[in-house]
Structure 1
């Protein structure tokens, strides 16, 4: 693993960093191949949107510096499929929860081995329903902030053979899975939960909703019963792509034609950038 801290090769940060003390920051994990980041613009847009939501926006110069560093200094380290993780915190300062008037961001970039999800994409996965509810907070919804305790606890409850767990809010409405977004298909129509109050707006979710003219995605408030009535189910994130779901709480689902079609369409879109 290779780490950069504030654009220098380093693997340590200050113990006074607000990211450590309060989770005061955001992060992204980006799939990368030699000479190519996948969905780089969507990832950076979400990163910058999150920083603005937390009232510590990047200036135009800071955005350019990060983008240029990723391409000029990080890409040369990539010689196989990898994951680049970007963490940006508010840095040091302030008193207690009160943030400093002007922050000096801590910018941490890591190069990590890529997980292999090929077998999951081919064979499909099983889901459970997590006992850990998702908090509703429209101020934090959508962004990948550093406070991921709900996901950490939910992961501890996840047990084999389930690959992922569905997380619901206090009203028992579907939100997402622990580390992925969820879709289902009913009579050729795609559905996915609204993330207005909670959850992470995944870059793959965004691409399917906005860029696949083959499908209109119905985004709304749904219960588990809506999902269980589906013809086919799949989950997505930027590292695993589109992964079919073959079982939810022990109820079987087929790997459907629409899931396979989206796998092909999205993979073609990804590989277009690589080649």
Structure 2
């Protein structure tokens, strides 16, 4: 994996960086296809929205520098994955951030996994024993505080691809590293993310592009069991059909296939 720190090749970061100490930052995982970042506009908007929520006062010049550098790496590595880590840098007193942050921009380039076989046969899904946190102030953000995802991944059985995280009230939020969708009687359903979860880039793309009825709400595992088709998605795997949820099997149905043909890149 090739790493860059503040636009130069580097593998070092300050031990006082607030991203390390407090998770005071954000990240994005980008898929590059034929030299172009897939859904770049959605990633740009989400990162900027996250910076605004965390009160990162990033000026236009720095944004231009970031996205110019991302484009440069996409051209250099035309079929790769890019990971952006953006922290407030060092400084401040304890939790209190500095008045003038010295932002750290970190970018990693990595080889993309090949999901083609799994797209054809589908994957299995179970329920995680780890709950998703409820915090309206952080909901939707792709922030660096990801311990619950680490814990959930650590206890994911080897024969399952993903696990559903519910909150303390038993409502579905998302999966460990994917957003979750399902079809029920021809309607597309997914969890509302006002108090938990990550507004995934592909989730946003699907909600914008789906030509049909969408229900966004508070759902339980019992609701998911009634699904006709299930799929999960993220920037790297794209739309991934689910053929088993615990002991129940599901088809790779026509509506999932139609969305895959429309949205998954060739």
TM-score over 0.5 (shorter chain) = yes
Per-residue CA deviation, residues 39-89 of structure 1 (Å, 9 max, x unaligned), is 1111121111111111113211111111111123x124204x210000000
What is residue 232 of structure 1 aligned with on the other side? Answer: 229
Q: State the TM-score, normalized to the length of structure 2.
A: 0.97
What is residue 191 of structure 1 aligned with on the other side? Answer: 189
What is residue 76 of structure 2 aligned with on the other side? Answer: 77
Q: What is the CA–CA distance in structure 2 between the aligned matches of 1:211 and 1:184, rounded to whole Å?
A: 16
Displacement of 1:238 after TM fit? 1.1
Structure 1 residue runs of 4 or more that deviate by more than 2 Å after TM superposition: none
What is residue 12 of structure 2 aligned with on the other side? Answer: 12
Displacement of 1:15 after TM fit? 0.8
CA contact (8 A) 1:209 1:216 kept: no
What is residue 215 of structure 1 aligned with on the other side? Answer: 212
What is residue 252 of structure 1 aligned with on the other side? Answer: 249
Aligned length: 266
Q: State the TM-score, normalized to the length of structure 1.
A: 0.94
Greater Cα offset, 58-67 or 217-226: 58-67
Are 2:54 and 1:59 aligned?
A: no
Which blocks of at least 5 consecutive residues in structure 2 are unaligned? none
CA contact (8 A) 1:87 1:108 kept: yes
Which blocks of at least 5 consecutive residues in structure 1 are unaligned? none
Per-residue CA deviation, residues 87-129 of structure 1 (Å, 9 max, x unaligned), is 0000000011110011010000010110111111111111110
Per-residue CA deviation, residues 146-190 of structure 1 (Å, 9 max, x unaligned), is 000000000011012110000000000000000000111011111
CA contact (8 A) 1:29 1:85 kept: yes
Q: What is the CA–CA distance in structure 2 between the aligned matches of 1:110 and 1:33, rounded to whole Å?
A: 16
Per-residue CA deviation, residues 165-221 of structure 1 (Å, 9 max, x unaligned), is 000000000000000001110111110000010100011111111122x22211000
Are 2:104 and 1:113 aligned?
A: no
What is residue 36 of structure 1 aligned with on the other side? Answer: 36
Are 2:170 and 1:153 aligned?
A: no
Aligned-residue RMSD, C-alpha: 1.1
- Where 1:145 maps in the other structure, the secondary structure is coil
